[in-house]
Amino acid sequence: MVAPVKRLAPLAALAPLQFYFFVARGGRDCATDAPLLFFLTLALYAILHAREDRRFCALAGAASGLAILSKGLAGTIPLIIAPLAVFVLPGFEAIGIAGLAVIFGCAVAVAAPWYLYEASYNPLFWSSFVHHETLARVVRHLEDETHPGWYTLCAFWKEIHFLWPLILPTSAIAVAMRRRTAQAVLASGVSRWKSMNPATSLWIVWLMVALGAACAVQTKLPWYVMPALVPTALLAGTLAARALEYRGPMRAAVTGLGALALALILVRVPVKWHAIAWTHDHERLRSTPSYTMGLQARRTAALRDGGHLYFAGVELPTLVYYSEMHVDFIKAPGGLEPITDPAAGEPPRLDLNDLALVDPQGDLVPIANFNREWDLNGPKATW
């Protein structure tokens, strides 16, 4: 039985508003994760409807191309899901090889022009975007602290753990089915998979692909789980709706626990929103030192007619954003191991966490030290 939209929609729509990264990085921060999630969702919506109308394949491909332009490799998730849906999920075979060709062709047509232009005219495209920002993130750790393989699953659990009450009606349904024989349960499982709502099966594959990709990437940044949050919300809404409309054995217990689960989730919404707001404000204070240093770098470069920035420390993407300049990050003090532009020549010798500008005349102009800025403008100083 298909879950009524009126029952599924409210929880599915409210759940993402309790995901920290969905609200903060996907909404409040200036990041490309928001368009990534939008185009991912649009592409999967089009793939779902392409079963009945192949004209949606063009929309799915165009949305996939825009997702790739938004966030690089993360935008290829719909292109991974589409063939899996066609060859594995019941009901999607109608898309066929021709439909897949349209999806991939439109994605290439949308994304390729930018990549071709950058590859032709941007000298740092291959070394910075392709090598360092794309391939290197897949095969090795680039974050300051090296995280174990299960770190991604922990980050995902921290985002979704407030949905734990849905375990209650799920357990009740499992208990109601316990009297069936193993053969009957297996036959029922196969039958349910074949008769499952195509949207639900697509969301399951979406969740598995998005979460699997986040786990496989060696750079373990916590917001890499964001593409898995939308299908999680949709599946949570589906599960709640199934519990409320359950008509099998122990119906009263299942529906009662379903209502209790929703009540427990909703009663924590204000607390969760307060925690999200507090955490986001705290993270903004953590970026204040980079903001201050970035503005100082822009003023210094304007007075010196340009120049090249060097920072002796770990990568600070916010420093690049706020300075609006290319920054060579040096892994160790003393001008060792520049990691963004090895062909730039010998970098200047700096103390740890120093930011400096080398102007067009070759003069070294000290700008700031991150440790001092942290003491003056960081969270501890403000709070």
pLDDT of the chain along its 383 residues, tens only? Answer: 444 445 566 777 778 888 888 888 877 777 889 999 999 999 999 999 999 999 999 999 999 999 999 999 999 999 999 999 999 998 899 999 999 999 999 999 999 999 999 999 988 888 878 887 788 888 887 665 677 878 999 999 999 999 999 999 988 888 877 655 445 545 555 455 556 788 999 999 999 999 999 999 988 888 899 999 999 999 998 888 888 888 888 888 888 998 899 899 888 888 888 888 888 888 888 888 888 999 999 999 999 888 889 998 887 878 887 888 888 887 654 544 444 444 455 656 788 889 999 888 888 889 999 988 888 877 766 54
Cβ(226)–Cβ(37) below 8 Å? yes
Q: Is residue 281 part of a domain?
A: no
Task: Please indicate, yes or no, whether residues 19 and 78 belong to a single structural domain of this protein.
Answer: no
78/44 Cα distance (integer angstroms): 6
Nearby residues of 370 by Cβ (< 8 Å), 6 or more positions away: 289, 290, 293, 311, 313, 316, 353, 354, 355
Task: Please indicate, yes or no, whether residues 241 and 193 belong to a single structural domain of this protein.
Answer: yes
b/e 7-45 (16+ beta carbons within 10 angstroms → b):
bbeebbeebbebbbbbbbbbeebebbbbbbbbbbbbbbb
Q: Is residue 76 part of a domain?
A: yes
Q: Is residue 279 part of a domain?
A: no
Element (H or E) spanning 365, and its range?
A: strand 364-369
Cβ(320)–Cβ(338) below 8 Å? no
Q: Is residue 282 part of a domain?
A: no
Task: Please indicate, yes or no, whether residues 109 and 258 belong to a single structural domain of this protein.
Answer: no
Task: Please indicate, yes or no, whether residues 123 and 190 belong to a single structural domain of this protein.
Answer: no
Q: Strand pairing of 308-312 and 327-332?
A: parallel
- Which domain-ending residue is among 252, 267, 282? 267
Task: Please indicate, yes or no, whether residues 88 and 209 belong to a single structural domain of this protein.
Answer: no
Task: Please indicate, yes or no, whether residues 170 and 254 belong to a single structural domain of this protein.
Answer: yes
Task: Please indicate, yes or no, whether residues 257 and 144 belong to a single structural domain of this protein.
Answer: yes
Q: Is residue 288 part of a domain?
A: no
Spatial CA neighbour of 333 closest among 348, 352, 317: 352
- Which domain-ending residue is among 100, 133, 166? 133
- Which domain-ending residue is among 106, 133, 160? 133
* Rg, Å, the chain Cα set: 25
Spatial CA neighbour of 122 closest among 309, 297, 341, 356: 341
Task: Please indicate, yes or no, whether residues 210 and 323 belong to a single structural domain of this protein.
Answer: no
Instruction: Count the domains in the chain.
Output: 3
Task: Please indicate, yes or no, whether residues 190 and 41 belong to a single structural domain of this protein.
Answer: no
Q: Is residue 129 part of a domain?
A: yes
Cβ(178)–Cβ(249) below 8 Å? no
Q: Is residue 287 part of a domain?
A: no
Cβ(292)–Cβ(338) below 8 Å? no
Task: Please indicate, yes or no, whether residues 68 and 123 belong to a single structural domain of this protein.
Answer: yes
36/122 Cα distance (integer angstroms): 23
Q: Is residue 125 part of a domain?
A: yes
Task: Please indicate, yes or no, whether residues 96 and 40 belong to a single structural domain of this protein.
Answer: yes
Whose tokens are 């500008």? That residue is 357
Residue 330: give the domain boundaries: 296-382
Task: Please indicate, yes or no, whether residues 48 and 125 belong to a single structural domain of this protein.
Answer: yes
Cβ(246)–Cβ(13) below 8 Å? no
